[in-house]
Amino acid sequence: MEDVLTLVIDGSEPPSAATVQAVQSVCEAAEDRAGSGVVAVRVGGAPAEGWTGGLDVMKVSKWERALRRLERLPAATVAVAAGDCGGAALDAFLTCDIRIVTPDTRLLVSGDATATWPGMAGYRLARLAGAARVRRALLFGRPIEAAEALRLGLADEIADGTVDDLTGALAAAGPVGGLAGKEIAIRRQLLFDAATTSFEDALGPHLAACDRALRRPVAEAS
């Protein structure tokens, strides 16, 4: 379908300039469409030992900024993971609104002989599932199997099929297809802020969003 933009992330490779550009290009296309359509993110693969050899903090910073842009898109994002999912694949998977896994999926916090990788995947895992429930994954690299990912809220559904089949079907027919991207971005930000914002500080942004929703039918009718 033409309203579905697709991004493919291979976790067996470390984040590179090409990976960053792929994410940025999809984000630019989604932003140019004024919030319509869906971004489908296909992920899989996990890095082998020594995968950080070509990285430096500047490359990691550019990758994390690209992920943050993906995470805040004015469009719904649907991720589909298959098999082992670590490194850049896990990073991208955790930024998405809807996260689908196949039965053989394992979420892996990659590392080396000394420790796990301290990237922002750990932050997102803890925010989504709670620090205590992902402690062993973050500290010791323990795989999170598909059923556990579903139970922890890291995945929304376990589905059979190939990544290609699931990406197209879920992005087109899932619960996100007809929603307005700009409104999704507002609701997403309210959701992000709820964990760290007091009721008093949250009230203003929520009222502003309510006012925007109430004004929309009038604006559309004029």
pLDDT in tens, 171-198: 444 555 556 667 888 888 888 888 888 9
Pick the closest to residue 80 from 36, 128, 44 (CA basis).
Answer: 44
Alpha-carbon gap, residue 65 to 61, rounded angstroms: 6
Per the rule left: phi > 0, alpha: psi between -120 and 50, beta: everything else, 180 is beta
pLDDT of residue 165: 62
pLDDT of residue 24: 98
Mean pLDDT in order along the chain per 10 residues (222 residues): 82 95 96 80 93 91 96 92 96 96 95 88 94 95 97 93 60 53 81 87 88 75 55
Question: Homologous superfamily of 4-173 in CATH?
Answer: 2-enoyl-CoA Hydratase; Chain A, domain 1 (3.90.226.10)
Domain ranges of the chain: 4-173, 181-221
pLDDT of residue 33: 81
> Exposure string (b/e) for 180-215, b if CB count within 10 Å is 16 or more?
ebeebbbebeeeeeeeeeeeeeeeeeeeeeeeeeee
DSSP 3-state of 175: coil
Say what the pTM is: 0.86
pLDDT of residue 219: 59
pLDDT in tens, 22-49: 999 999 999 988 666 789 999 999 999 8
DSSP 3-state of 219: helix
pLDDT of residue 172: 45
pLDDT of residue 173: 44
Place of tokens 């053989």: 104
Helices (H), the chain: 17-32, 57-71, 87-94, 120-129, 135-140, 146-152, 163-173, 181-194, 199-221
